[in-house]
Amino acid sequence: MGVQVSVFQFNAFQENTYVVSNEQGEALIFDPGCYSKEEEQILSDFLEENELNVLAVLYTHAHIDHILGAAFVHRTFNAPAYLHPLDHSTWTSVASYAHVYGFEGYQIQDLPSHPLSDHQALNIGAFRIKVRHTPGHAPGHVIFYFEEDQFIINGDVLFKGSFGRVDLPGGDLETLKSSIYNILFQYPEETIVYCGHGPETNIGQEKRTNYIHQF
């Protein structure tokens, strides 16, 4: 099965929103961060032009930059949404501080109704995904592992040369280090890591060079 990973950089945080699609025209949206009308149009045009059917919307975690487009994608595609329950409070708190970051137009969306859990196997259309709970940046943070295609949608746990911040509510450095060393660094070194911000990387490179080793 040929799987394509498309990335869109959205909102003032330069958050990476991902669309994973296959040859059957099935698509999954990860962390929709589209905020402006222009960004919403970019995402919807891509899906329409490629004749993709959105089967689900999945969230690595619920910080504001990763859910700014939640109401839009729900309204537009009406697809099932997935989030780990430990990030429900992260999700619901966004409405109280969105204006602080200049997002006065933030649209509140109901909590995703489909829970995620550690070691969960997701079978959505032809996609086969393994979920791991990776807290430290956010309490309910998860990563999505596509074993057959050897890549991870990793959110804000690991970045190229760096790692997710731990100074937000529910963040903890030791917990994040455990997620990185005991989960992410256990995957094959050639596994591609698609990050919530910045460029992609791979497990081998981060095991050798990541800044986390200095802590």
**What confidence tens digit (pLDDT) does each residue in 27-79 have?**
999 999 999 999 999 999 999 999 999 999 999 999 999 999 999 999 999 99
What is the number of other CB atoms lying within 10 angstroms of the CB of residue 199? 12
Q: Which domain holds residue 62?
A: 3-214
Looking up tokens 């649209």 gives 107
Instruction: Supply the pLDDT for residue 1.
Output: 53
Count of structural domains within the chain = 1
DSSP assignment of 135-155 equals -SSSTT-EEEEETTTTEEEEE
**What confidence tens digit (pLDDT) does each residue in 141-164 have?**
999 999 999 999 999 999 999 999
Tell me the β-bridge partners of 3. Answer: 22
Where does the pLDDT of residue 126 fall: very low under 50, low under 70, confident under 90, or very high at 90 and above?
Answer: very high
**What confidence tens digit (pLDDT) does each residue in 1-19 have?**
589 999 999 999 999 999 9
Helix (H, G, I), strand (E, B) or coil at 23: coil
Rounded to whole angstroms, the Cα distance separating 49 from 51 reads: 5
CB 59 within 8 A of CB 69: no
Edge-to-edge order in the sheet of strand 121-124: 121-124, 127-133, 142-146, 151-155, 192-195, 201-202
> What's the CATH code of the domain at 153?
3.60.15.10
On the question of pLDDT at 172 being above 90, the answer is: yes
Determine what percent of the chain is predicted with pLDDT higher than 70.
100
5-10 contact pairs (CB < 8 A, 24+): 5/151, 5/194, 6/46, 7/194, 8/34, 8/39, 8/42, 8/43, 8/46, 10/34, 10/35, 10/39, 10/68, 10/69
Per-residue pLDDT averaged across 182-190, rounded? 98
